Amino acid sequence: MQSASTKDLWIILASFIISALTIPIFGRLAYRYGIVDKPDGELKPHERITPYLGGLSIYLGVLFVTPFEFVTKIALTVLVLLGLYDDAKNSDPNVRLITEFVIASVLVYKYVGLSLLFPLYAVLIVALVNAVNMMDGLDGVCASVSAISAIGLFIVATSRYDKVLLLSLVGALFGYLLYNFPPARIFMGDAGSYLIGGVLSVGLLSSIRNGSSNLPYVVSAFIFLSLFFFDLGAGVLRRVLNGRSPFSGDRGHFYDKIQSKTENKRYTLFVVVFIQFALFTIGMIAKQNAMLSLLAVLMLLVMYYFISKWLKILKY
C-alpha cells in the first residue's frame, strides 16, 4: 500500500506531465486563432507576440488528476471559460464581475455555509481571483508565487479532496513554468489566472471552514496568500492617491518595481520567489499555535513595511 506522501508525489507528477505535454498544442492553437498577447511597450512590455492558452494546460492538469466533485469542478470550469472568453474577445467587465461573485458565493456556501460573514467571504474570494490575475504581469511570477502558496495551503487544508486539488495545481504550474520561465514562450492568460484564483480560494475556504477552533491555520492561510492581497491593495491605493481610477492598469506592481531595480526578468523572479519563501516560512510559524500566530503577524507587518519603503510602493 502506498503511503500518503507517495500518492502526493504521483499527483504532482501526473499533473506536471499533462500540463507540460499539452502546452505546445495549445500554443499552436493560440497562434492559429489569434489568441495572443501583442507587446505595446507600456502595459505589455514583452519583446514578442506571445500565445495565451497556457492556462488550459494547467486546467487539464488539475481536471484529470483530481476526483470529480460537482460543485467545485463546475465552479472552476466556469472561471476558466470566463477567462478564456476574455482572452479571445475581451468580455464586459460588469459581466465578468457578476460571474465572479456568483462563483464566489457558490464556493463560500459550499465550504462555510450561510453566516453574517458570507458577504465578506464572497468579496474576499473575488478579490483573490482578481489579485492572482494582476500578479500575472511578468514571466514566471504568478506561477511561482501561486505554486508556493498552494503548497502552504495544502498543509492547512481540512479535507483530502482540497489537498489533492492544491497538489494538482502545483504539478500543473511546474509544467507550465517550463515554458513561462523568462523569457516566456507562452502566457497562462485570464483562463489560467482565474483557475488559479479559484483553486487557491478553495484552499483558503478549506482552512476557514472550522472557524475559530482552527485560528492558527486560518492566519497561516492568509499569510501564504498575503503577497496577492498586498499587491492588489497597494495597486488600488497607489492609483487613488495619484488621482487615477482604481480599476486602471499600470506597471507599478511590486514585481515591476523590483524589475526596475534589477533590470533583469530572471533576477526579478528570483527576488519574488525569495520573498514568497520568506512568507511561506512565516506562515508555517503562524500555524503552530495562537501565540506564534500573533508573532507571525507582527513579522509579516514588519516585512511588508520594509518592502513598501524599499520599492516606494505607493509612488509611480
Please check if 242 is assigned to a binding site.
Answer: no
Cβ neighbour number for residue 264 with a 10 Å cutoff: 12
Judge whether 26 and 57 are in contact, CB under 8 Å. Answer: yes
Q: Which three cell numbers stand for residue 95?
A: 459581466
Closest by alpha carbon to 75, among 221, 187, 201? 201
Q: What DSSP designation does 50 have?
A: E
At residue 225, what is the residue type? L
Instruction: Give 121-156 as a DSSP string.
Output: HHHHHHHHHHHHHHHTTSTTHHHHHHHHHHHHHHHH
- For the chain, the helix, strand and coil percentages under 3-state DSSP, each to the nearest 5: 75, 0, 25
Closest by alpha carbon to 61, among 179, 136, 182, 164? 164
Please check if 190 is assigned to a binding site.
Answer: yes
Judge whether 178 and 221 are in contact, CB under 8 Å. Answer: no
Rounded Cα distance, 261 and 4, in Å? 43
Rounded Cα distance, 48 and 31, in Å? 13
Q: Which three cell numbers stand for residue 255?
A: 514585481
Q: Which residues contact 5 (CB under 8 A, 6 or more apart)?
A: none
Write out the binding residues for Mg(2+): 133, 190
Q: Which positions make up the binding site? A: 133, 190
